[in-house]
A and B are shown apart, each in its own frame.
Chain A
Amino acid sequence: MDIFLQQLANGLTIGSMFALVALGYTMVYGVMRLINFAHGDMVAASAFVGLTIYTHVTGQATSLAAVVAIFLLSAVVMAVLGVVLERVAYRPLREAPRLSAVVSALGASLVIQNGIMLIWGPRMRIFPELVPQVYWDFGGVVISLIQVIILVLSLVLMIALYLFVEKTRIGAAIRASSIDQDAARLMGINVNSIIALIFIIGSSLGAVGGLFIGLYYRGITFNMGWQYGLYAFVAAIIGGIGNIPGAMLGGMLLGLFNAFIAGYVSSTWADAFTFILLIVILIIRPTGILGERVAEKV
């Protein structure tokens, strides 16, 4: 039972990081039908940007205000980079065959990864200890303050995003653009602005995810975006790519699945089992768990 509860807590923590990152994949896919392979590397970049802000801007302070500033500044930097990424790598290819955009996404991924390596070096860097090491021991089940922060903040962000998309006018414009871009234009929706907005939201959520990865695992490397990006991408597919609650659910499920495999089988097998899970889900439900769309009558 201890292992179960411990892995439940761990699973929810990594699950919320997967979910935050998965949202970026799923939102871009929803509107553009494009897998933004560079997203994982943007997430990695955010951990390094956060490291630099900590060192050079907030003067290595770990006060609450400094930590909040690191999160906000990193999110802003990544949002701007996200918009630049869309402008440079994707917008010129909007009318081009789908494969061109995929190749461009892979190219952008390499550029960002190598950019991180050139700026911050190829060796592992240690992310600062922004949150004090506080642990609570519930009869053998240990939960850290970092875990609580990651889980709570992720849930708050996800609920805020959900409400924004479901309840606001701009949210309705996002949903309309993801269903039918031309019909959205006929409503007066500026689809280019919506796409920029999607990159802003996805990249800043990814930025928070990247900082969480730094906080939780501490060691950050220039190429870690590949691994976390892949997990998040799998999470988005499991939930039903393009579906926002699906990405949240997929992230959490994948986190839990990973933690339980690590707890009951072995952590070295977690990757293999993740892909077995992906394959099984794609066989049973090719559209993902929440990916079912109402068929339109003709």
Chain B
Amino acid sequence: MSNDVLFEIKDLEVSYGAIAAIKGISLKVHKGEIVAILGANGAGKTTTMRTISQLLKAKAGSIRFKEHELTNLPAHKIVKLGISHSPEGRRVFGILTVEENLTLGAFSQSKLDRKTLAWVYDLFPRLQERRKQLAGTLSGGEQQMLAIGRALMSNPEMVLLDEPSLGIAPILVKAIFKQIKEIAKSGVTVLLVEQNAKAALKLADRGYVLDVGKIALSGTSAELLASEKVQEAYLGKKN
């Protein structure tokens, strides 16, 4: 198993000024896996994702992707290596059209790959219907589809998804999670952050539970779903 490790974080520490947000976490992602990072609000999930993308700088530790050490790279170089990031809160370019957003997703590529665009439209047909519409006029769920689609446009090997279910109608959450499964099936490795632990673990192969900047628990999805700790903390006792 160890020689197909695609991505590995070791002893990562991240601070905001004097306040430590990530206090030494380690995790691994194998090629082709869906790995979930779970945890309550404020646990440090988004901080971890932003540090992977180098929007935040690590205080200590290493982040390796294939043969590359990421911690000393500028943020704009990460996507070129094959990691793209659909950020928390979606962060679509609201005053640009859907298609302009998707085109920007391919900025790191030498040219726009029509096949990838067709695939994204296939995954999320609503985006195609609304491709001339300004992204800011889409519903929250549609914006989330756009954020994921935009992240796929660079043909990444691994995609970081930060809370794709946040503030979205349940029916759309279901649709989006189904398409995340499709994305993984197509060979893209997925690192997924969620507060919605049950939905995430149904989708993921493995998971890590983050608790105030430390990994409290890790295991396969089945193990985590069965664990009492997870049931108490995230699933509500009887669920």
Which residues of A are at the interface with B, using a C-beta cutoff of 8 A? 169, 172-173, 175-176, 179-180, 182-191, 293-298
Contact = CB atoms under 8 A, between A and B. Distances in A.
Contact of A172 (B103, B134, B151): B103
A15 to B, nearest CB: 26
Interface of B: 53, 55, 74-80, 84-85, 87, 91-96, 100, 103-105, 107-108, 134, 136-140, 143, 150-151, 154, 167
Contacts of A294: 94-95, 134, 136-137
Given A188-B79, A297-B138, A297-B143, A183 B107 contact: no
B80 A176 contact: no
A186 B136 contact: no
B1 to A, nearest CB: 30
B22 to A, nearest CB: 18
Contact of B94 (A169, A173, A182, A296): A296
Contacts of B79: 186-188
Nearest to B138: A297
Contacts of B53: 185-186
B105 A187 contact: yes
Nearest to A191: B76
A188 B93 CA distance: 15
A185 B93 contact: no
Contacts of B77: 188
Query: Which of B84, B92, B93, B136 has the most CB atoms of chain A within a 10 A radius of its CB?
Result: B93
A125 B76 CA distance: 47
A297 B139 contact: yes
Centre residue among A184, A186, A295 by max chain B CB count within 10 A: A186
Looking at B74, B76, B103, B150, the one whose CB has the most chain A CB atoms below 10 A away is B76
19 contacts: A169-B107, A172-B96, A175-B93, A176-B93, A180-B91, A182-B91, A183-B91, A183-B92, A186-B78, A186-B79, A186-B87, A188-B76, A188-B108, A191-B76, A294-B94, A297-B137, A297-B138, A297-B140, A298-B140
Contacts of A176: 93, 96, 104, 107
Contacts of A190: 74, 76
A184 B104 CA distance: 8
A182 B104 contact: no
A89 B20 CA distance: 31
Nearest to B151: A186
Nearest to B55: A182
A296 B94 CA distance: 6
Nearest to B96: A175
A91 to B, nearest CB: 14
Given A175-B96, A187-B108, A191-B76, 12 more contacts: A173-B107, A176-B96, A176-B107, A182-B87, A183-B91, A186-B84, A187-B79, A187-B154, A188-B107, A189-B107, A296-B136, A298-B167
